[in-house]
Amino acid sequence: MYPSQYLPIIRRALEEDLGLAGDISAEAAVPFEAVATARIVARRSGRLAGLEVAGAVFLEVDPTLDVELLASDGDEVEAGGTIGRVSGAAWSILSAERTALNLLGQMSGVATATARLVQAVAGTGVQVADTRKTTAGLRLLEKYAVRMGGGINHRFGLFDAVMIKDNHIVAAGGIRAAVVAARARVGHMVKIEVEVATLDQLAELLEVGADVVMLDNMDLATLREAVQMVAGQMVTEASGSITLDTVLLVAETGVDIVSAGSITHSAPVLDVALDFESGTAPGLSPLDVG
């Protein structure tokens, strides 16, 4: 990711947290001239994502802070591992702490959930993809985290691929009508994916063709038959209730991709914390260094 992509997210988050008055807790309790060093610590093991984003939060609050990242996005970290350090004005560190940890924990949670699914299907050749079931305003960060977990991104939004789902089919008057209309209206660089829930729908789609077919909520036997019917004419994507317990069974049906909304909408946040390493000491205040 480029800073120009994630800095607006950081600024909105800080504005939400600091409001009009700023960090009145730090102002009330901490000496104005205090300086400190703090460690960013993983309380639980997992796959990291968002370290650069977290570091940018501290620097957005105070560019004079010294931020040292001791790990990289995509790394596995053990519980108790120190993954970064921040030094400088104590007020600034405290004011940035929660926003930095929220983003880092959320992104690392997504990366960890993705990595576990990817590990479960290792050796099958099947790729794990995300969906649009993301946290409003955080899609960019969560889809980046999926990649750090070893997964791939589905379409980013409504604007970069045509995906014809059940309600589109009803509104358009059928699969054939929807696909024909879509082909007439989008350029040759735009892929078309169609969702089917039955083998009859798949047979109808095969008559008109598409780039990708989403095999939605099919049982394992039906998935196997669907893959045989497609016979390589389209990319096959299995979706619907994909879990760590079921993903390998789904992968073994022969599909190309499994997509799981759970890796973004239900991923447990990775527990990360900020621990002050040393006591505060006299030094330059945030206003003095700004």
Catalytic residues: 98, 133, 165, 195, 216
| Cβ atoms 172, 183 nearer than 8 A | no
Measure the CA–CA gap between 196 and 214, rounded to whole angstroms: 6
Phi, psi of 278, deg, nearest 5? -135, 155
Q: Would you say the C-alpha torsion 127, 9, 100, 69 has a positive or negative sign?
A: positive
Measure the CA–CA gap between 262 and 117, rounded to whole angstroms: 10
| Cβ atoms 89, 289 nearer than 8 A | yes
Phi, psi of 162, deg, nearest 5? -95, 125
| Cβ atoms 95, 53 nearer than 8 A | no
| Rounded alpha-carbon distances, angstroms, from residue 259 to 117, 134, 251 | 10, 13, 11
Question: Token pair for residue 140?
Answer: 């960019």
Residue 189 neighbours by CB under 8 Å, 6+ apart: none
CA angle 7, 13, 19 (to 5 degrees): 125
Tally the C-alpha atoms within 13 A of residue 164's C-alpha that lie toward its C-beta.
29
Measure the CA–CA gap between 139 and 1, rounded to whole angstroms: 12
